[in-house]
Amino acid sequence: MLLLSLHFMKITIDKAAGFCPGVKLAIKKADQFLEKEAEFHCLGSLLHNEMEMGRLSDDGLKIVEKETIPLLEGKKLLFRAHGEPPETYDLTKENDVEVIDATCSVVRKLQKDVKSAAEEMEKLGGQVVIFGKPQHPEVMGLMGHTKGLGVVIRAAQDLAKVDMSRPVRLFSQTTMDDISFELIAKAIKEQMERKNPASDLESYNTICKHVLNRVPLLKKFASEHELIIFVSGRESSNGKKLFNTCLEVNPGTHFISETSEMNAEWFAGMETVGISGAASTPQWLMKEVAKKIEALT
């Protein structure tokens, strides 16, 4: 942990916070190309952090959508950590666009597993079920590997989408909640067994281990400080989830996206302040927050 002593106040930056391995790889690839080229394109926003995206934009990163791929003939295009469906790769190939693939290794393996399950379900007349957010880029990429046999469920009220009389292979979006996945898997199992005691369900908890390990570490960190400053982009679902985790443990938790949002009154009488963030929060931003706290007090 990085410790900064400030009179009576100790400020600690959470060493476990910040970019997950998949985001680190994507940022590294973007920075490498931006060092050599004045302009570099990325399919969709690379991460949900306005400050880091601002830095990359200033360096020449251009965000494009799938519809503009035909206009990028002869150019390079970065695929972010979330991954893409097969049709996107086909589109880049048709239009002579070079793909710089930063798909997270965990997501890439999940795509292969979903594809294999879809091939099996095609033979058995079954379904592939993805526990996740329907419009999330990772889920959209996974659905592209299901051969039209996939359904997405986010909560118990979505279970009607699942044909409980058919074989099912259940997977999870890598950033979903572990307990929620287990509850969904249990509910599907119970409903299938009511229809047919010999039902064929295989469930795979494919939530990223980095995500699973982050929660207990964050709870410990939050409990060790009087005040927590949680730094995240406002559109980051991971940030919202981890902020709420902090808040449950430590009511003295404040959410900010940039240093200007802090209030000097928060720190009055505090002896220990912790700074943490989402999987898309850069370490340089958390260090800036620490410096700003010093200036405020």
Domain extent for 161:
106-203
The arithmetic mean of pLDDT across residues 261-274, rounded, is: 95
Strand partners, 230: 255, 276
Asked if residue 6 has pLDDT above 90, the reply is no
Give the chain's domain count: 3
How far is Cα 7 from Cα 25, in angstroms, rounded to an integer?
Answer: 38
How far is Cα 42 from Cα 88, in angstroms, rounded to an integer?
Answer: 13
42 within 8 A of 30, measured Cβ to Cβ:
yes
Which CATH number covers residue 48? 3.40.50.11270
**Residue among 216, 199, 198, 136 at smallest CA distance from 163:** 199
Tell me: do 142 and 126 sit in the same domain.
Answer: yes
pLDDT digits (tens, 9 = 90+) for 60-105: 999 999 999 999 999 999 999 999 999 999 999 999 999 999 999 9
Tell me: do 55 and 29 sit in the same domain.
Answer: yes
Amino acid in the structure at residue 61: L
Which CATH number covers residue 273? 3.40.1010.20
pLDDT digits (tens, 9 = 90+) for 194-243: 998 888 999 999 999 988 899 999 999 999 999 999 999 988 878 998 99
Q: Provide the pLDDT for residue 297.
A: 82
Q: Provide the pLDDT for residue 198.
A: 86
The arithmetic mean of pLDDT across residues 278-294, rounded, is: 95
Q: Provide the pLDDT for residue 96.
A: 98
pLDDT digits (tens, 9 = 90+) for 146-196: 999 999 999 999 999 999 999 999 999 999 999 999 999 999 999 999 998
How far is Cα 245 from Cα 106, in angstroms, rounded to an integer?
Answer: 24
The alpha carbon of 9 is separated from its chain's Cα centroid by a whole number of angstroms, namely: 33
How far is Cα 273 from Cα 246, in angstroms, rounded to an integer?
Answer: 13
Q: Provide the pLDDT for residue 13.
A: 98
Measured from the Cβ of residue 85, the count of other Cβ atoms closer than 10 Å reads 18
282 within 8 A of 52, measured Cβ to Cβ:
yes
The residue among 203, 237, 270 that closes a domain is 203
Tell me: do 37 and 111 sit in the same domain.
Answer: no
pLDDT digits (tens, 9 = 90+) for 20-47: 999 999 999 999 999 998 899 999 999 9
Collapsing DSSP to helix, strand or coil, 256 comes out as strand
Tell me: do 182 and 132 sit in the same domain.
Answer: yes
Residues serving a catalytic function are 138
Q: How many CA atoms lie within 13 A of 282 on its CB side?
A: 19
Q: Provide the pLDDT for residue 281.
A: 94
